[in-house]
Amino acid sequence: MQHAQTKAAPLPARSLQKSSPLLARLGRLGAVLSCSLALVACGSSADSADASATVQDDAATGQLARPDYQRAMYDPIHFKPAIESATDEQCLACHQEVLAPSVRTESLAGVQPAQVKAWYQDLSTYAGDQETFHRRHLVTPYAKQVMDLKCNTCHQGNDPREEAPGSSATNADDNLRLRKHVDVGEVCLMCHAKMNFEVMGLPEPWQKSKALFNNDCLMCHAAIRTNRHQVNFLKPEAIEAAAQGNGDVCFGCHGGRAWYQMLFPYPRHPWPGGEEVPDWAKDRPTTSLPRFLTGLPAQSAAAADAAQPAATEPTPADSAADTGAQQ
């Protein structure tokens, strides 16, 4: 539906919204209609910060000041451009449950979490009790030590109504990632791809060749590709410190938890001694994605130069734009 709206002639969203107090009295129908009006507002950049207005309208008509479920779900904070500057606190005001410890004490079959380990839970970085996905990335001690992920590092907005491509007349052209809240090719793959041991000149995959190198990536990487991890969701110094003599730290994000049996095309930042560009790297970007550089004062100026002008029509589908991250 987002798609349809961006194609259609722009509706006077704001005036419609203002002139619709009747709707509020129409009970559920009213809620649904004004919800779709709110949606129009969130698709138009001029009205992008209109959530609070909607809430105030509610208050004026004597309704609850708290947004109802439908409105909250389509709160503009979920979509571009508002989501780009949203803080974790704003998201957590409604979603604190994602950080609550919620692993079952026992599976339905009676297995306790402490009794099971998954194949990837064998790196030295993996510590503590079983944890939920969000906690493992945001609040566990290791996550806090080496990473600084925010909600919007991963969440860039998606269409809650229609998450499958080509399944209705209105979204035939949308470039959606099937049933995904997050663009896995842009985000997850950075830390969960296969290790590209071939370009490193390693004889075999790390699992087999690590003994040759004392399980220490820094034997090579103290001098190779040294300009790394300068992004707003990692803690580069802490990573280097933790990785001294322990390749599990590096491998953890570069092959040790490879959910995806494909490679991530890392940007190839120039580094002293790395002036020559090998053939396989000819098409690689030389800087990280601009959105990963905001908030890094030293780099954001350069990033702004490198960045293409932002797309004008913010829609949830934008976040699913193909990043060409494969192979």
Residues 55-74 that bind ligand HEC (CB under 6 A): 67, 69, 72-73
3-state class of 57 per DSSP? helix
CA gap 87, 294 in Å, rounded: 13
CA gap 189, 80 in Å, rounded: 22
Q: Footprint of ligand HEC on residues 189-218 (CB under 6 A)?
A: 190-192, 196, 199-202, 206, 213, 217-218
Q: Footprint of ligand HEC on residues 102-121 (CB under 6 A)?
A: 118, 121
Q: Are 53 and 25 in contact (CB under 8 A)?
A: no
Q: Is 182 in the site for ligand HEC (CB under 6 A)?
A: yes
3-state class of 310 per DSSP? coil
Q: Footprint of ligand HEC on residues 254-313 (CB under 6 A)?
A: 254, 257, 266-269, 278, 281, 288, 292
State the nearest-atom distance from the C-beta of 178 to ligand HEC, in Å. 11
CA gap 169, 114 in Å, rounded: 48
Q: Is 126 in the site for ligand HEC (CB under 6 A)?
A: yes
CA gap 162, 317 in Å, rounded: 10
- The burial class, CB within 10 Å (0-12 / 13-18 / 19+), for 187 is buried
Out of 93, 103, 116, 223, point to the residue binding ligand HEC (CB under 6 A): 93
Out of 4, 220, 310, 311, point to the residue binding ligand HEC (CB under 6 A): 220
Residue 16: φ, ψ to 5°:
-60, -45
Q: Is 137 in the site for ligand HEC (CB under 6 A)?
A: yes
Out of 2, 17, 34, 152, point to the residue binding ligand HEC (CB under 6 A): 152
Q: Is 50 in the site for ligand HEC (CB under 6 A)?
A: no
Q: Which is nearer to ligand HEC, 27 or 282 (CB)?
A: 282
Out of 1, 184, 296, 303, point to the residue binding ligand HEC (CB under 6 A): 184
Q: Is 231 in the site for ligand HEC (CB under 6 A)?
A: yes
State the nearest-atom distance from the C-beta of 14 to ligand HEC, in Å. 20
Q: Footprint of ligand HEC on residues 4-33 (CB under 6 A)?
A: none
CA gap 112, 88 in Å, rounded: 32
3-state class of 43 per DSSP? helix
Q: Which is nearer to ligand HEC, 20 or 226 (CB)?
A: 226
For residue 159, the one-letter residue type is D
Q: What is the CA radius of gyration of the chain?
A: 23
State the nearest-atom distance from the C-beta of 63 to ligand HEC, in Å. 15
Q: How many of the chain's residues bind ligand HEC (CB under 6 A)?
A: 89
Residue 151: φ, ψ to 5°:
-55, -45
Q: Which is nearer to ligand HEC, 16 or 72 (CB)?
A: 72
**Max CA-CA distance within the chain?**
74
